């Protein structure tokens, strides 16, 4: 089955064919490094991490670039706030270095692969100046009062990505005080220097680049004038990505063939904002939940749709996380000498085919995750049969890795379950079960045999309060120590 991806530019799902057979070139807009990353940053980074992983699973070679904006008004304001009295140029560098390091640390803790290329805006100033010169030479940009602007009226089909006409764009457009542009819709390619701010020499005077120009320059330099996929949050469609297209095509580049945008994240159906008191950092999550629980929450929604976050939904994702982890732990502890069962392996292959089918359809992770849980249920039912489930285990791990779930999660090592058959888990103090736990286990077994499910459920809750998880089998109840 061929892959299909929804292209924001054409507003339809299209069959995906890379420019170069067997190779994928991807550029994704990365962070502006002025603060600690929040769960919205995690959602976007993870969405494209899964896309990249699935391409690799399918056998493609992937060249993945993600930029870093390390000079920006927000960074400058943060530098003034955190390093009062210091040289502003030095302070801006300190802020961007500090928060890029923090961003990297959290991406690593989330298990998100680093990009193949991670260009910084400040490393590309010279190439941005050369790019702007080309735009001026091609008469699609103009210098004015130390600034340089892109002439939007010269762009071919401006508004095509955001599906807006000039009439729509003109509504409410104004020229702000201090701007030297001819038309309210024109946007800055180069900004003249303000006193004390970071600046670079250029043919138009000292200044710094506009925001949009960096991505056009870096993507074309790393991936070429035409590449396969450009990704980012849906909030970047206009003006950022619209302006990228205008200036890239204005310079003579074909630019990105396919545009992918992830949906935004809300908190209990409200926009996340510090002013609303609902600003949730990645650290806030990792202090309470495993990284894979957050990933499962994200996987439950298609990448292009908004995710509404709540602590209740996180609890549900954690329970789903424990289901897979528990199943993998049981598989890890199985010791069987039986030969591979062809019928079981055939069913596993069918699950894999279903997984690929839904992922080929615009990376439908919600359905893919559902198929993984179907596999988990099938494996759980097969465990007591004593059949050889090694292939099922390997396949489940393979598909889980494709969705970026951690190795520790998938091999069950996050759940410390030192099992004593029929009785349970070693007590942390002396290596044996306490009498009270033995009594509870026996009571649960008797209740289940007599079909007194109310009592059995009450015993389960009592065991869980002790940090234990009962696992019921044909030959008795096993108790596991709960570590997650």
Q: Say which CATH number the domain at 363 has.
A: 1.20.120.640
Spatial separation of the C-alpha atoms in residues 214 and 203, rounded to whole Å: 18
In a domain, 294, yes or no: no
Residue 35 near residue 27, CB atoms below 8 Å:
no
pLDDT in tens, 322-359: 888 878 877 776 766 677 888 899 999 999 999 999 99
Report if residue 192 sits inside a domain.
Answer: no
Residues of the chain with pLDDT under 50: 415-432
Q: Are residues 23 and 127 in the same domain?
A: yes
CA distance 389 to 383: 8
Q: Does residue 286 lie within any of the structural domains?
A: no
Is 188 a domain residue? no
Distance CA(120)–CA(202), nearest Å, equals 19
Secondary structure class of 33 (helix, strand, coil): coil
Query: Could you give the 3-state DSSP secondary structure of residue 86?
Result: coil
Tally of domains within the chain? 3
Q: Do 43 and 127 belong together in one domain?
A: yes
DSSP 330-360: HHHH----PPB-HHHHHHHHHHHHHHHHHHH
Asked whether the beta carbons of 325 and 409 are under 8 A apart, the reply is yes
User: Three-state DSSP class for 419?
Assistant: strand
- Whether 289 is covered by a domain: the verdict is no
Residues 107 and 216 in one domain: yes
The answer to whether residues 401 and 437 belong to one domain is no
* The pLDDT value given to residue 474: 65
Same domain, 471 and 334: no
Domain boundary among 250, 276, 302: 276
Per-residue confidence (pLDDT) for residue 406, from 0 to 100 = 84
Chain-centroid distance of CA 314 in Å reads 16
CATH number where 270 lies: 3.40.50.620
pLDDT for the residue numbered 482: 54
On whether both 266 and 404 belong to a single domain, the answer is no
Of 218, 249, 276, the domain-final residue? 276
Domain membership flag for residue 292: no
Distance CA 269, CA 262 (A): 17
Tell me what pLDDT residue 54 has. 98
Tell me whether strands 4-7 and 12-15 are parallel, antiparallel or unpaired: antiparallel
Indicate if 266 and 348 belong to the same structural domain.
no
Confidence at residue 55, expressed as pLDDT on a 0 to 100 scale: 98
- For residues 276 and 336, the answer to whether their CB atoms sit within 8 Å is no
- Domain of 253? 4-138+209-276
């Amino acid at each position: 089955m061929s892959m299909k991806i929804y292209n924001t530019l054409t507003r339809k799902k299209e069959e995906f064919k890379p420019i170069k057979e067997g190779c994928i070139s991807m550029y994704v807009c990365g962070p502006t490094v002025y603060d600690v990353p929040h769960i919205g940053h995690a959602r976007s980074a993870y969405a494209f991490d899964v896309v990249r992983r699935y391409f690799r699973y399918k056998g493609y070679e992937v060249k993945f670039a993600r930029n870093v904006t390390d000079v920006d008004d927000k960074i400058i304001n943060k530098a003034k706030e955190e390093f009062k009295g210091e040289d502003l140029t030095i302070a801006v560098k300190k802020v961007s270095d500090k928060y890029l390091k923090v961003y990297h640390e959290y991406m690593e803790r989330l298990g998100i692969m680093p990009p193949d290329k991670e260009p910084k805006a400040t490393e590309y100033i010279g190439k941005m100046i050369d790019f702007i010169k080309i735009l001026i030479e091609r008469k699609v940009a103009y210098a004015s009062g130390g600034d340089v602007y892109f002439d939007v009226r010269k762009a071919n089909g401006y508004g095509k990505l955001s599906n807006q006409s000039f009439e729509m764009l003109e509504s409410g457009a104004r020229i702000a005080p201090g701007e030297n542009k001819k038309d309210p819709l024109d946007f800055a390619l180069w900004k003249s220097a303000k006193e004390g701010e970071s600046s670079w020499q250029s043919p138009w005077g000292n200044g710094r680049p506009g925001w949009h120009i960096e991505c056009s320059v870096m993507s074309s330099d790393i991936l070429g004038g035409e590449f396969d996929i450009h990704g980012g949050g849906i909030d970047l469609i206009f003006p950022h990505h619209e302006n990228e297209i205008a200036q890239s095509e204005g310079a003579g580049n074909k630019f990105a063939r396919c545009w992918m945008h992830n949906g935004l994240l809300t908190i209990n159906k409200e926009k996340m904002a510090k002013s609303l008191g609902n600003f949730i950092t990645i650290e806030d999550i990792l202090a309470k939940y495993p990284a894979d629980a957050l990933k499962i929450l994200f996987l439950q929604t298609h990448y292009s749709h908004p995710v509404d976050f709540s602590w209740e939904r996180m609890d549900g994702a954690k329970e789903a996380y424990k289901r897979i982890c528990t199943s993998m732990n049981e598989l890890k502890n199985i010791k069987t000498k039986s030969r591979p069962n062809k019928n079981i392996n055939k069913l596993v292959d069918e699950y894999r085919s279903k997984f690929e089918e839904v992922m080929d359809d615009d990376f439908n992770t919600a359905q893919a995750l559902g198929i993984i849980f179907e596999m988990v249920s099938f494996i759980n039912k097969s465990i007591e049969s004593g059949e050889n489930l090694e292939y099922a285990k390997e396949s489940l791990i393979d598909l889980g890795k494709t969705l970026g779930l951690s190795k520790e999660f998938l091999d069950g090592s996050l759940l410390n379950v030192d099992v004593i058959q029929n009785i349970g888990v070693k007590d942390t103090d002396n290596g044996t079960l306490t009498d009270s736990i033995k009594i509870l286990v026996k009571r649960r077994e008797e209740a289940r045999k007599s079909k007194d499910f109310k009592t059995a459920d009450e015993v389960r809750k009592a065991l869980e309060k002790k940090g234990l998880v009962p696992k019921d089998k044909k030959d008795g109840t096993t108790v596991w120590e709960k570590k997650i």
